[in-house]
Amino acid sequence: MTGAGETLGRFFLQLSLPHILVPFLIAAALQIVQESRVVTMLVAPSLLLPLVPELGLPLEIVILSMASSTFLISHVNDPFFWILGELAELEPSEVFRSNTLGSAVMGIVSFLLTSAVYLFFY
């Protein structure tokens, strides 16, 4: 492990979290900071690559866990927030109520389904 991957690896392995949470939390942190789902799904795997052997998770589960967290937070920095508002002709306050809550629910449910798939099929 080198650079950020090594630092993140040491940090998360010391926390003794369930391993399936690690990719979810790393991608969620990236999503919160820079709000681009595409960038999150390009950067998070490069940060997690050194951790995959230690996590012992199948790559499919790592990817689904990361993808789940990209929907967790959506606010005014998210381009989709504004696209949805413009296309649906909603005021920002209406987008906050519908998109932000809906995205959080979608992220949590997606992560729970990913966890269930991992528990029952791996």
- Cα–Cα distance, 11 to 48 (Å, whole number): 12
- Cβ pair 94, 7 in contact under 8 A: no
How does residue 39 score in pLDDT terms, banded at 50, 70 and 90?
confident
Taking the C-alpha atoms of residue 69 and residue 29, their distance in angstroms, rounded to an integer, is 9
Domain that holds residue 90: 3-121
pLDDT at 2: 56
Q: Are 41 and 70 in contact (CB under 8 A)?
A: yes
Read off the pLDDT of residues 84-100 as tens digits, 9 standing for 90 and up: 899 999 999 998 888 88
Residue 60, pLDDT score: 95
Q: Is the pLDDT of residue 1 over 70?
A: no
pTM of the model: 0.84
Domain count, the chain: 1
Rg (CA), the chain: 16
